[in-house]
Amino acid sequence: MITCSAPAKVYLFGEHAVVYNESAICCAVNMRTRVNIEYSENIVIKSSLGTTGIDYEIHPYVSAVVEKIRKKSPCRGVSISIESDIPVGSGLGSSAAVVVATICAFNNLLKLGMDKESIASFGHSIEKEIQGAASATDTYVSTMGGTIEVPKRRHLKNPLCNLIIGNTNVFSSTGQLVAKVASLKSIYPEIITPILSTIGKTSLRGEGLLENEDYRALGELMDVNQGLLEAIGVGCDELSRLIHSSRAAGAFGAKITGAGGGGCMLALADNENIDAISREIKNAGGIPIITGVTDSGVRVD
Ligand code: MEV
């Protein structure tokens, strides 16, 4: 039996803009999906969603990985079991984490000799197949760990303050939100394109602030980024409530993380404010998760 795991990720800056090749900064965070794999008679995929064989309704990402791997490297059955700390459809990269952890598990079971770059790019091809438009960001960050600027894939200094996630528990579909932004952009290109480019600039300015550990200014720019995300139509009432409550409770800054339209927000905070921010996220109807950056990308456990 082999067990591999991969982390969730948050965006400090740049979601949606990154789909158009603008800069974004992501951090891998301390919540993981673990995938166990062993030989068996048939294909069995077990998770909290149920036990299936190849099943594109219930386990689309793992089914796609299994079918692609078996085409490259025929093997008899395998039993795969998945357990995860990462809420599904919440913008924290749950699909990327399960995809890269499953590829890593096959890589070790079948001795496929893939390096991390190949795991990340194979993972991206699976996300694209299942989700339609998807940038390579989620799979890359979950594979490599740490804090990464994309699309250039430069490792940056990790933020040394607290990251507080607020989950609205409202399911959001990345594919639909990416399509919504694409549609707005095609109707109003002269308005939406500069907004996306300005989001990219918040990320580029954010890099220097991260390097200088200036979290107050970093938070201020996250608030600017949030305004721009609202402008491209990916906000929602539930997210706004959590974001405004976090700011009122003393966060350096707060914004959506991931595709928006539900899912999660992210607040940056010093030690004194963590409890107040968590409490206010709860009072505003969200689920607070206090986390931090992990340098550990996909790995064999
Ligand atoms: C989703 O986590 C982030 C988006 O930028 C889409 C993507 O990069 O694939 C909205």
> Any idea what DSSP says for residue 169?
-
Strands 50-52 and 162-167: unpaired
Note the pLDDT tens digit of each residue in 86-109.
998 888 999 999 999 999 999 999
Predicted confidence at residue 152, as pLDDT, reads 95
Domain with CATH 3.30.230.10 in the chain: 2-154
**Distance, CA of 119 to CA of 228 (rounded, Å):** 33
**CATH 3.30.70.890 domain range(s) in the chain:** 159-291
Instruction: Give burial (CB, 10 Å; 0-12/13-18/19+) of 175.
Output: middle
Side-chain-side CA neighbours of residue 104 (13 Å): 28
Centre of ligand 1 from the C-alpha of residue 294, in Å: 20
Classified by CATH at the fold level, domain 159-291 comes out as Alpha-Beta Plaits (3.30.70)
Q: What is the pLDDT of residues 112-134, one digit of tens each?
A: 999 999 999 999 999 999 987 67
Residue 245, C-beta contacts closer than 8 angstroms, at least 6 positions apart: 277, 280, 281, 283, 284
The residues of the chain scoring below 50 in pLDDT are none
**What class has domain 2-154?**
alpha beta
Q: How far is the CA of 240 from the centre of ligand 1 (A)?
A: 19
Give yes or no for residue 90 CB within 6 A of ligand 1. Answer: no
Q: What is the pLDDT of residue 73?
A: 81
Q: Is 10 in the pocket of ligand 1 (CB under 6 A)?
A: no
Structure confidence by residue, pLDDT tens digits, 27-48: 999 999 999 999 999 999 999 9
**Is 16 near ligand 1, meaning CB less than 6 Å away?**
yes
For 57, 81, 89, 131, 149, the CA distances from 52, given in Å and listed in that order, are 10, 10, 20, 20, 37
Burial 46-78 (b: 16+ CB within 10 A, else e): bbeeeebeeeeeebbbbbbbbebbbeeeeeeeb
ipTM value: 0.96
* Structure letter (DSSP) for residue 293: B
The per-residue pLDDT for 75 is 77
Nearest ligand 1 atom to the CA of 24 is: 5
Q: How many angstroms does the Cα of residue 30 sit away from the middle of ligand 1?
A: 19
